Chain A
Amino acid sequence: MRALLFYIGCIIVGGLFFAFAQWLGNDYLFFAGYTVLQFVVLATAWNILGGYCGYVNFGSAAFFALGAYSSVALHKLGANVDRYFPDWLSGLAHTIMPLNIPTLIVIGGIVSGLVGLGTGYLTLRLRGAFFAIATLALAVVLQTLIVNWDFVGGSRGAYIIRPAEVPILGNYIQYLFLVMLVLSVVAIAIARIIEQSRLGYGFATIRDDEIAAEACGVPTLRLKLIATTISGALMGMAGAPFPYYIGYLEPSSAFGLAYAVNSIAMPMIGGTTSWVGPLVGALLLGTLQQVATVTISSAVNLLIVGLLLIGFVIVAPRGIVGLVQEFMRERASDQGQPTWRSRLATFANMRPGAR
């Protein structure tokens, strides 16, 4: 019942925003909104491994860029079918290519998921700190590989031309926004399902005490690999439509530091214990950055994010959600009857009715 309400709520909110933006008649809201929703997906994805399991991933940009560059590679293949496919395949290729966005998203997810699995397999047996450093390394190695791969443009970058026909809405940016909206809901739904399942409990034990978890029978390595794969896959899915959004993709923008910082800052500032935190963090910080980029400069807005991250990590380690929960709990009724405040506090909790 709760789940149904949740999804209906998402649809209503999304629909309202959509209608509002369309009524404004200005495409800018869709451009900005796409970026913010992209961060919702990235933050939620990061949190599955970082918040739930306690393993920090500094290489979010790598997974995001993998998704983006899969799309670029497939786009190039599709635009020059006859050059790249042998004759007996080209008939089939012509009918499939160019691939539409949802397919590209799935493929981007698979590619990133596999890389996540591979990285995890190599490094998750070690301590969390080593894993974190390895993810940093991964981002640089991947960026170097892409820079040297001329097929996708190398350091010169690649132009992506949007298809002439736009499915459903007729306006391309609105279509991309809608796609990202659906992806955000999917990401949050996945996070929520994990939280409330056996897997979520397993993740929590890994975060709390891996050795004790093993002693209780939790297959920690397997669960960590699952988390890394899901997290990487979602990030890749967020990246897949990006070339079409931006039109011209070059490595420094795909692997931009802003992705690494934001995908860490947003969940940590929002709160890492549940799906609510990354959502809150992404919406708040994302909007803030959109405003700041326009009014001040993009360097300053990154500075603000960095300072907020440091500040929150020191002062409010449980994030905004944690602060709100403290506030709510203090005001909850003494007789132990649930009030609207304590209900709200439990709502944002990892397991309903837990505390």
Chain B
Amino acid sequence: MADALLQVDNLGKRFGGFVALDGINLSVQPGERVGLIGPNGSGKSTLVNCMCGTLQNESGTVRFDGHEMNGLAAHERTHRGMARSFQLPRPFVTLTVAENLRIPLLYTAHTRSGRHLSQQESADRCEELAGLVGLSAKANKLPRDLTQVEMRKLELARAMAADPKLLIADEAMAGLSQSEVTDIVELLIKLNERGITIILIEHIMRAVMSFSQRLVVLVSGKKIADGPPQEVVSHPEVIGAYLGQ
């Protein structure tokens, strides 16, 4: 079997006495579409933070694209091709939408394509990205002039700007309307067809089911299910811990 793009082995993370993640094993193949679900506080965002380097895990390893990630700073992991959006949007508040999108282009895109983008190329790419998420009209506005929903779209677009091999979308669709959710799912599937592996963390089951090829369930810091979506959602433990609520 081909090498996994992302290999998480026995990952553990504690905050003081509280065990946030307990021996998580996860393997993501290149080109896969994985959904990650679980109740609030189950550790999904903590897992993302540990994989991406925002937090350092205490035990276990993360391997990405064949490289050991332990000890690497977050920006280095982004340079290798891991990008993520934040669950609570974290835009750069003194920069416009377009400038927010430019940051990954300035600081990461060159590592992926091997050279720095020219002024024209980065301007074009910013426009393209803004268009993809429907923020073209607000490209020159500051984040404070955006709605909550628009900020989430900016979050996602900014992650895409890093030209990643693996994109982790952390609850990017909270608060979106039905049609907006459909649009984002279509966008993510299109990105996936272009070769980007995607991990989608969501509570909106409709989106998760239509998007995922594989579903992983996290409850109280432990992985309790990992398999095809239809199987997982009929798993009694999953229903009991999460879906039944």
Direct contact of A and B (CB under 8 A): yes
A215 lies within 8 A of B52 (CB): yes
Distance, CA A212 to CA B75, complexed state (A):
10
Q: Contact: B103 with A218, CB < 8 Å?
A: yes
Please name all residues of chain B whose beta carbon is closer than 8 Å to the beta carbon of A218 when the two chains form the complex: 75, 103, 107
A205 in the interface (beta carbon within 8 A): yes
* 0 or 1 for each of A343-355: is its CB under 8 Å from B? (1 = yes): 0000000110011
**Is A198 within 8 A of B92, CB to CB?**
no
Output the least CB separation between B144 and chain A (Å).
12
Q: What are the residues of chain B within 8 A of A243 when measuring CB–CB?
A: none
Q: Is the CB of A217 within 8 A of B162?
A: yes
Q: A201-B99, A201-B102, A202-B107 are in contact. Are A215 and B78 (CB under 8 A)?
A: yes
Interface residues of B in 112-127 (CB under 8 A from A): none
Stretch at the interface among B79-87, B176-184, B222-230: B79-87
Asked if residues A354 and B92 are in contact (CB atoms below 8 Å), the reply is no
> What are the residues of chain A within 8 A of B75 when measuring CB–CB?
213-220
Interface majority SS on A: helix, strand, loop or mixed? helix
Say yes or no for B241: interface residue by CB 8 A criterion: no
Residue B234 is within 8 A (CB to CB) of chain A in the complex: no
Q: Are A216 and B103 in contact (CB under 8 A)?
A: yes
Interface residue A207 (Cβ < 8 Å from any Cβ of B)? yes
| Complex interface bits, B56-75 against A, C-beta within 8 A gives 1, otherwise 0 | 00000000000000000111
- A213-230 vs B: 1/0 string, CB under 8 Å? 111111111000000000
**Residue from B54, B79, B95, B140 in contact with A208 in the complex, judged by beta carbons closer than 8 Å:** B95
Question: Which residues A175-210 have CB closer than 8 A to chain B?
Answer: 198, 201-202, 204-205, 207-209
User: A209 to B92, Cβ gap below 8 A?
Assistant: yes
Query: B235 in the interface, Cβ–Cβ < 8 Å?
Result: no
A215 B96 Cβ-Cβ under 8 A? no
Instruction: Give chain B residues whose Cβ lies under 8 Å from the Cβ of A354.
Output: 96, 99
Q: Which residues does chain A contribute within 8 Å of B137, judged by CB atoms?
A: none
Most chain A C-beta atoms within 10 Å of own C-beta, residue among B84, B90, B96: B90
Whether A212 pairs with B162 at a CB distance below 8 angstroms is no
Please name the residue on chain B nearest to A220 by beta carbon: B75
Interface-central residue, B75, B78, B142, by most chain A CB under 10 Å: B75
B2, CB-defined interface residue at 8 Å: no
Contacting residues, chain B, for A209 (C-beta < 8 A): 90-93
Query: Is A211 in the interface zone, CB < 8 Å from B?
Result: yes
Docked complex Cα distance between A355 and B99 (Å) = 11
Query: How many A residues face the partner with a CB closer than 8 A?
Result: 24
Q: A293 vs B185: C-alpha distance in the bound complex, in angstroms?
A: 67
Measured as residues with beta carbon below 8 angstroms from the partner, the interface class of chain B is 20 to 34
Q: Which of B52, B54, B106 contacts A198 (CB 8 A)?
A: B106
Chain A residues, Cβ within 8 Å of B74: 211, 214-215
Residue of B nearest to A208 (CB): B92
Give complex CA distance A216, B104 in Å.
5
Q: Kindly identify which residue among A201, A202, A212, A273 contacts B90, using a CB–CB cutoff of 8 Å.
A: A212
Asked if A216 and B78 sit within 8 Å, CB to CB, the answer is: yes
Question: CA separation between A202 and B142, bound complex, in Å?
Answer: 17
Chain A residue contacts of B92, Cβ below 8 A: 204-205, 208-209, 212-213
B55: nearest residue on chain A (CB-CB)? A211
Q: Nearest chain B CB to A51's CB is how many angstroms away?
A: 11
B142 close to A214 (CB less than 8 A): no
A214: contacting residue among B53, B91, B99, B158, CB under 8 A: B53
Does B94 sit within 8 A of A, measured CB to CB? yes
- B86, B102, B103, B106: residue with the most chain A Cβ atoms closer than 10 Å: B103
Complex Cα gap A207–B162 (Å) = 20
Residues of B within 8 A of A215 (CB): 52, 54, 74-75, 78, 83-84, 86, 159
A178 to B23: give the CA distance in the assembly, Å.
67
Q: Are B94 and A204 in contact (CB under 8 A)?
A: yes
The distance in angstroms between the C-alpha atoms of A230 and B36, with both chains bound, is 45
CA distance A273 to B108 in the complex (A): 25
A217 touches B142 (CB 8 A): no
A202 CA to B99 CA in the complex, in Å?
11
**Residue B111, interface by CB 8 Å:** yes
Tell me whether A208 and B106 are in contact (CB under 8 A).
no
A216 pairs with B54, CB closer than 8 A:
no
Q: How far is the CA of A350 from the CA of B52 in the complex (A)?
A: 31
Question: B95, B104, B158 — which one has the most chain A CB atoms within 10 A of its CB?
Answer: B95
For B161, list chain A residues within 8 Å (CB): 216
Bound CA–CA A205/B74 (angstroms): 15
Inter-chain contacts of B108 with A (CB < 8 A): 216-217
Taking CB as reference atom, which chain B residue is nearest A219? Answer: B75
A221 in contact with B73 (CB, 8 Å): yes
Question: A residues within 8 A CB of B162?
Answer: 216-217
Q: Which 9 A-B pairs have the closest CB atoms?
A: A217-B108, A214-B74, A212-B90, A217-B78, A208-B92, A217-B107, A216-B104, A216-B103, A214-B75
Known contacts A215-B75, A355-B140; can you find 17 more A-B pairs with CB under 8 A?
A202-B106, A204-B94, A205-B92, A205-B95, A205-B103, A208-B94, A209-B90, A213-B75, A215-B52, A215-B78, A216-B75, A217-B111, A218-B75, A218-B103, A218-B107, A351-B99, A354-B96
Q: What would be 14 A-B contacts, judged by CB atoms less than 8 Å apart?
A: A201-B106, A208-B91, A209-B91, A213-B103, A214-B54, A214-B73, A214-B74, A215-B78, A216-B107, A216-B108, A216-B161, A217-B104, A220-B75, A355-B140
Q: Which residues from chain A sit less than 8 Å from chain B, CB to CB?
A: 198, 201-202, 204-205, 207-209, 211-221, 273, 350-351, 354-355
